[in-house]
């Protein structure tokens, strides 16, 4: 299949929020994974010396399948961008380019290198070599067309919170599992029942491949395609969601019913402007906020569900 690369180059007063809102537009079109170009992002220590240079302009790029829905999606994208620009005072340009799937899958790999994302976990792309240091565990990942390489701050923040909270035998649900990286991290930290859900069937298949690649048996995890309450049952020790803030706010009601009393909800994909709004709703739903972690403009929260008296 061919894909249409839709690249939105923009400028404005709050470019981090703009990137979040543009990504939200792609999400509403059913496009889960986007590429965010952030010229201000400083490379982490140990970033590959042969990595490509930082982008010169902020941009968000989504990939639209070249199928029967393409023209309708393009129309909706263009209308939504015009509305956003009028509301936020953004200046933007939209560029389309046809990309063969195999070309896309190869070209972006130049950006992805092994990176330590928590005290004991290193994420490594399958096509790179890495020798782990004492005390390190390696997550082998090939995200394909799914979101989740581990190098984005929101993913790293979630992994760091999982590292604090996961205990041997814990049951973990990942909402919007993408490449499956958070489930793999949970397993390496001792979780034994792994469940992931995503609305994108491509992501579900990629997550399955990555879990198997990291020596998880097929009986060790369950993956489902669809919306949370429609395809997932049961109660979990930890639910993690690395998705957009607006989606987290919508999910909090059903998510609360899927967490054991005393269990945890970890959420990220949140920018500073939405932090307090998400935290307030978590408290309203019975969570005690135990951690708020920040990296640049990105925020992750952890809340413990209080037992009903």
Query: Closest Cα partner for 307 from 277, 286, 291?
Result: 286
Sign of CA dihedral 37, 42, 47, 51: positive
Please state which of the ranges 19-33, 36-50, 123-137, 262-276 shows the lowest mean pLDDT: 36-50
The mean pLDDT value of the chain amounts to 87
Higher-pLDDT residue of 157, 49: 157
Q: Is 147 helix (H, G, I), strand (E, B) or coil?
A: coil
Among the candidates 78, 108, 138, a domain finishes at 108
pLDDT at 248: 92
What's the average model confidence in pLDDT over 72-82? 94
**Among candidate residues 108, 135, 167, the one where a domain is terminated:** 108
Residue 24 exposure: Cα atoms within 13 Å on the Cβ side: 17
Give the CATH number for residue 175: 3.40.50.150
Are 183 and 66 part of one and the same domain?
no
Among 72, 35, 38, residue whose Cα is nearest residue 55 = 38
**% of the chain with per-residue pLDDT over 70:** 88
Distance CA 109, CA 125 (A): 9
Q: Are residues 283 and 230 in the same domain?
A: yes
**Which tokens is 20 given?**
């979040």
Same domain, 78 and 177: no
The domain total for the chain is 2
Has residue 10 got a pLDDT over 70? yes
- Region 11-24: mean pLDDT is 88
Task: Tell me: do 129 and 159 sit in the same domain.
Answer: yes
Per-residue pLDDT at 64? 87
Predicted confidence at residue 309, as pLDDT, reads 54
Task: Give the residue, 205 or 307, on which the prediction is more confident.
Answer: 205
pLDDT tens readout for residues 81-106:
999 999 889 999 999 999 876 666 66
Residue 32 has what pLDDT?
Answer: 61
Q: Are residues 131 and 196 in the same domain?
A: yes
pLDDT at 189 over 50: yes
Please give the average per-residue pLDDT across 39-64, as a whole number.
66
- Whether residue 249 sits in one domain with residue 130: yes
Is the pLDDT assigned to residue 152 strictly greater than 70?
yes
Given a cut of 70, is residue 246 above it in pLDDT?
A: yes
User: Do 60 and 156 reside in the same domain of the chain?
Assistant: no
Q: What is the CATH number of the domain that holds 41?
A: 3.30.70.260
Residue with tokens 């394909």: 144
Burial of 234 (0-12, 13-18, 19+ CB in 10 A): exposed
Least confident of 40-44, 82-86, 170-174, 202-206: 40-44
Residue after which a domain boundary falls, among 76, 108, 140: 108
Average pLDDT over residues 141-169: 84
Residue 131 has pLDDT above 70, yes or no: yes
At residue 73, the pLDDT reads 92
Q: Are residues 146 and 275 in the same domain?
A: yes
Asked whether residue 28 falls in the same domain as residue 173, the answer is: no
Q: CA 98: distance to chain centroid? A: 25
* pLDDT tens digits, one per residue of 257-306: 999 999 999 999 898 889 999 999 999 999 999 999 998 888 999 999 98
Domain ranges, residue 168: 112-305
Q: Look at residue 45 and tell me whether its pLDDT is greater than 90.
A: no
Same domain, 136 and 96: no
Residues 99 and 119 in one domain: no
98 with 124, same domain: the answer is no
Distance CA(209)–CA(85), nearest Å, equals: 39
Is 47's pLDDT higher than 50? Answer: no
| Residue of 270 and 39 predicted with greater confidence | 270
């Amino acid at each position: 299949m061919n894909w249409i690369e839709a690249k939105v180059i923009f400028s404005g007063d709050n470019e981090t929020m703009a990137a979040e809102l543009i990504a939200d537009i792609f999400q509403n079109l059913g496009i889960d994974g986007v590429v965010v170009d952030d010229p201000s992002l400083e490379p982490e220590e140990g970033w590959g010396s042969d990595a490509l240079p930082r982008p010169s302009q902020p941009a968000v790029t989504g990939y639209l399948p070249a199928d029967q829905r393409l023209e309708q999606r393009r129309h909706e994208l263009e209308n939504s961008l015009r509305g956003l620009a009028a509301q936020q005072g953004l200046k933007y340009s939209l560029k389309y380019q046809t990309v063969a799937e195999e070309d896309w899958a190869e070209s972006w790999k130049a950006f992805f290198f092994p990176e330590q994302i928590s005290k004991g976990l290193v994420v490594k792309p399958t096509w790179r070599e890495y020798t782990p240091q004492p005390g390190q565990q390696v997550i082998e990942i090939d995200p394909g067309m799914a979101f989740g390489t581990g190098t984005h701050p929101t993913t790293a923040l979630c992994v760091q919170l999982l590292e604090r909270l996961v205990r041997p035998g814990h049951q973990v649900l990942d909402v919007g599992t993408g490449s499956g990286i958070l489930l793999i991290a949970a397993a390496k930290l001792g979780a034994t029942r792994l469940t992931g859900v995503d609305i994108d069937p491509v992501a579900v298949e990629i997550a399955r491949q990555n879990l198997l690649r990291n020596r998880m048996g097929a009986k060790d995890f369950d993956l489902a395609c669809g919306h949370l309450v429609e395809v997932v049952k049961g109660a979990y020790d930890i639910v993690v969601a690395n998705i957009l803030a607006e989606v987290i706010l919508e999910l909090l009601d059903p998510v609360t019913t899927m967490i054991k009393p005393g269990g945890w909800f970890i959420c990220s994909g949140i920018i500073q402007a939405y932090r307090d709004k998400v935290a307030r709703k978590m408290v309203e739903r019975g969570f005690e906020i135990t951690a708020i972690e920040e990296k640049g403009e990105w925020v992750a929260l952890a809340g413990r569900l209080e037992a009903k008296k």
